[in-house]
Amino acid sequence: MSEIKVMIVDDSAVVRQVLSGLLNAAPGITVTHAVANPLLAIERMKVQWPDVIVLDVEMPKMDGITFLRKLMTEHPTPVVICSTLTEKGAQTSVEALTAGAVAIITKPRLDLKQFLHDSADELVSAVRAAAGAHVGKLAARALASPPPPPVTVKLNADAILPPTDARPMTATTERVVAIGTSTGGTQALEEVLTALPRVAPGIVVVQHMPEKFTAAFAARLDSVCEVRVKEAENNDRVLQGQVLIAPGGKHMLLRRTGAQYFVEVVDGPLVNRHRPSVDVLFRSAARAAGANALGVIMTGMGDDGAAGMLEMLKAGARTVAQDEASCVVYGMPKEAVKRGGVEKSVPLNAIYREILQQLQY
């Protein structure tokens, strides 16, 4: 890939300075402009258009959401949101994801400079992912993680849940759908879930998203869907017509008691550099539900969920991947297909039908 040209739009001089230094130090990335507000950004873009924009949301003269919508309407460009980690900021950033942003980088109000230095790898990864995203698909849908800070050792699902060769209990009338997604997943999930009727099977979802953001994301989905959508709490039962979103900063596991399914929300190390991790959810679904489950892996960067999907297939579950043509980033589905864990790949607009078929098994 040729050099990635980045524009930073943030009203904080400290943020502009630190982000510029961190990105310029990364191979293959150059910050061409760092400006204080969208109006200045528009003037600079008349001279040179960036490959990626790192954008704050709360700024004077023009807010980030308005600027983002203008971009997506007139000239779709990959955008990484750099937002303060607050409840208000979470709601605004989820709105930005819905409007077409690729990822979120969170920033605290205190110790900002040190935090940004500590999150340098996360920032660089988000910018690289954004540069390779099919942003036109996001723009079209707009008209929904960064991943958590990386660790030196990439852990797998063994860190949370040991593997097992045992098959789960025999099939019952209870059915469950486990969905995993990341970059581009906020919009993709909205498209899938809004197509479902209230009689849809119980659904559990891992969307890579930071702490505090998943509650706002679930509330937004709940407002536009026939099914009920909520951020999962420990011991929530998996019910027909309900979608449970794993909370940011926690892993979510599927458990079974008798013929009923519940979720367990737990702490633990990052798995595949994520918390929540799709692999953790999928492994637990393989153990607890087996042939009673459907695994769905959708748009996202990296390989989280690929190993878990293969475990689900071996346990008797149906498995479906979003196809390359409809993905914003064909990373996670591609890895799942490569490892042999996917029965079939379908376009995004066909996934809801696969979910409804689960009621017939």
Active site residues: 182, 208, 304
Residue pair 345/325 in contact by the 8 Å Cβ criterion = no
Residue pair 278/307 in contact by the 8 Å Cβ criterion = no
Of 47, 75, 61, which Cα lies nearest the Cα of 9? 61
Cα 104 to Cα 80: distance, rounded to the nearest angstrom: 6
Residue pair 85/211 in contact by the 8 Å Cβ criterion = yes
256 has which bridge partners? 261
Write phi, then psi, for 295 (nearest 5 degrees).
-105, 135
Of 181, 248, 246, 210, which Cα lies nearest the Cα of 93? 210
Tokens of 322: 């979003």
Residue pair 54/82 in contact by the 8 Å Cβ criterion = yes
Single-letter amino acid code for the residue at 148:
P
